[in-house]
Structure 1
Amino acid sequence: LWYLNGDYLVLLVSLVLILPLSLLRNLGYLGYTSGLSLLCMMFFLIVVICKKFQIPCPVEVGLIINETLNSTLTQPTAFTPEMVFNMTDDDSCRPRYFIFNSQTVYAVPILTFSFVCHPAILPIYEELKGRSRRRMMNVSKISFFAMFLMYLLAALFGYLTFYEHVESELLHTYSTVMGTDILLLIVRLAVLVAVTLTVPVVIFPIRSSVTHLLCAAKDFSWWRHSIITVSILAFTNLLVIFVPTIRDIFGFIGASAAAMLIFILPSAFYIKLVKKEPMKSVQKIG
């Protein structure tokens, strides 16, 4: 059935929901959708914390995957059909504070990518009421702290629930243990809504940058605005359909563009623009 194919669903959601929101000219209108996506992620976090105290450890976990359904609805996982594993060893319920293996190298670029918000700073500042440097700094500090707290709590309680048996997709681990659960289905829907409503916010600064690079001296045109938006969204859909795992995208962007935006370019701009401080000052060295 076509509606069970993930690729068709991605295209359908992009055309029906993401594209109309991405075509909005002003970022302020997306504040409502961003607020809704934030509420969805807070609901996800609350469920993760509550499940930590509901799921005992050690637990026995039996998993039988329907191979056809898995291939059409989800990305392939590390499990094979009719595979059963146990979490009955007490040692599996002891946290390991430092883990170094072949997967550890993915952690740094993914963490770097998760805090990339720099492209949206200028559009947000442009539409900020009573804008000033101090007000923008307060917005940035509150946003960074809130995201850091949500990332930390979700990762911490997710790990302390399943320990070494956590999968790359946390919600799939809950389904493995609990089977069909109405609350988990609602959480999945909330995460889906949150991710979907975040895409237009990300597209806005990308389109703004492309417009300023190619057509800075020209007046606003809905045709140009629409073509750039559709092109960006089409490229995004191609990545979603053809790249096997999201980890590869996060790892590549985190190791390249995210590192430039977070560590290299801000420091280079500060050194270039701030002339009153010597090169050996604490601010420029740090």
Structure 2
Amino acid sequence: MTSLLVVTGDALSLALESSATLAAMHSLGRTRLVLLDVCFVVLPLSWVQSPYSLRHSNGAAVFCTMLTVALLVTRGFMATGDAASPAEAAPSGSSALLALPIIMLSLACQVQVPCVYGELQERSLPRMSSALFTVGSLCFCLYSAVAVAGLVLAARSGYAIVPGNVLDCLPAGDTLALAMRVVMGVAVLLVYPMLCLPCRSTLDHLVFQGGAALPEKTLSWRLRHATETLLIVGVTTAIATANTDLASIFGFTGATAGAVISYILPPACFLKLWRHRTGPERAASSGWAVLSCLILATVTPLSLVITWRELVPA
């Protein structure tokens, strides 16, 4: 979610800098622009209580994504070698590891699927499976189209390797590239509130032990909802304004939230459930309990060290 705010801030700064009529707003600075964006767009949308309330913003985000893909594919096959400085580095197989944070981010975003399924009035696993298959196929086609267009664009622009951001292949003053950055910035901005829903649900279950089931409209429910929303939006905004480097943001979130979700919470949950089992069941799974303790004892210090290095670079 922090990376979404970083991308939005970059797109907003580029759009205002390139616009003659809005150039005065660019003088406010990137941090103030992000704060204004959060206050007037992100926070109000993140305050909603259900994915259904975000159907219009999600529809706009999907449209922006489709439009960006269409523009990129069109621009990729229209490229005529107008890049300013082609790269001369040879491709390296090890550089594929740099894509892992993006892949893990895409997988982590799928936590919103159970949240959506739980609110359906006529829930059906076959229909949900069909919908997920359709969405997966559509994403595969879109990713493939972007990949092919990116390769064609990089090759025709004189790049030996595709940059981390394929739009960097285009000249600085390319109008279509600016339009794609702005449209994609709008798309990721509208996705942020959708990701806020499962984050609040996770806090409800971990901190309040299923407190999300409390009746709505009560004072305690309103206070908890407001506290969780302000906490999530505030923390992500603070990190996004403190560091504008997307690679550092991925490193920091991967070392903290990524390590906790992937390596610390699963063995911790297993140990908590293991204690409530019967004697024979505990004896049969004692090996997994020992392994969980070893994982916690190893991964927790490593995640702290990596996080410290991300916070205080050498």
TM exceeding 0.5 = yes
Check if 1:28 corresponds to 2:52: yes
Contact kept in structure 2, 1:2 and 1:8, CA below 8 Å: no
Contact kept in structure 1, 2:61 and 2:188, CA below 8 Å: yes
Contact kept in structure 1, 2:153 and 2:169, CA below 8 Å: no
Tell which has more relative contact order, 1 or 2 (C-alpha 8 A, sep 6+).
1
Contact kept in structure 1, 2:76 and 2:150, CA below 8 Å: yes
State how far apart, in whole Å, the 2-side matches of 1:259 and 1:157 are. 36
State how far apart, in whole Å, the 2-side matches of 1:245 and 1:156 are. 27
Structure 1 residues 258 and 135: CA distance shift in structure 2, 3 A: farther
RMSD of aligned Cα (Å) = 3.1
- Counterpart of 2:166? 170
Structure 1 residues 48 and 175: CA distance shift in structure 2, 3 A: same
State how far apart, in whole Å, the 2-side matches of 1:38 and 1:210 are. 27
Contact kept in structure 2, 1:203 and 1:232, CA below 8 Å: yes
Contact kept in structure 2, 1:33 and 1:197, CA below 8 Å: yes
* Residue 172 (structure 1) shift: 3.4
Contact kept in structure 2, 1:27 and 1:124, CA below 8 Å: yes
* Residue 99 (structure 1) shift: 3.1
Matches within 5 A, 1:218-237: 218-220=214-216, 221-237=221-237
Equivalent residue for 2:116, pick from 120, 124, 132: 124
- Counterpart of 2:300? none
Matches within 5 A, 1:1-286: 3-4=26-27, 5-56=29-80, 59-62=81-84, 85-86=85-86, 99-101=92-94, 103-163=95-155, 164=160, 166-176=162-172, 179-181=173-175, 183-215=176-208, 216-217=210-211, 218-220=214-216, 221-250=221-250, 253=253, 257=258
Q: More helix by proportion, 1 or 2?
A: 2
CA deviation string 1:141-166 (max 9, x = no partner): 22222222222221221122114354
* Residue 171 (structure 1) shift: 2.5
CA deviation string 1:216-262 (max 9, x = no partner): 3444422221121011011111221223422343456568738966x
Letter in 2 for 1:142: T
Instruction: In structure 1, list runs of 5 or more residues that go unmatched.
Output: 63-84, 273-286
Structure 1 residues 44 and 21: CA distance shift in structure 2, 3 A: same
Identity among equivalent positions (%) equals: 25
TM-score relative to the length of structure 1: 0.70
SS of the equivalent of 1:61 reads coil
* Residue 173 (structure 1) shift: 2.8
How many corresponding residue pairs?
Answer: 232
Structure 1 residues 106 and 19: CA distance shift in structure 2, 3 A: same
State how far apart, in whole Å, the 1-side matches of 2:259 and 2:47 are. 25
CA deviation string 1:180-229 (max 9, x = no partner): 42x33332221111011000000111011112222334444222211210
Contact kept in structure 2, 1:37 and 1:194, CA below 8 Å: yes
State how far apart, in whole Å, the 2-side matches of 1:17 and 1:33 are. 11
TM-score relative to the length of structure 2: 0.64
Structure 1 residues 246 and 105: CA distance shift in structure 2, 3 A: same
Instruction: In structure 2, list runs of 5 or more residues that go unmatched.
Output: 1-23, 274-314
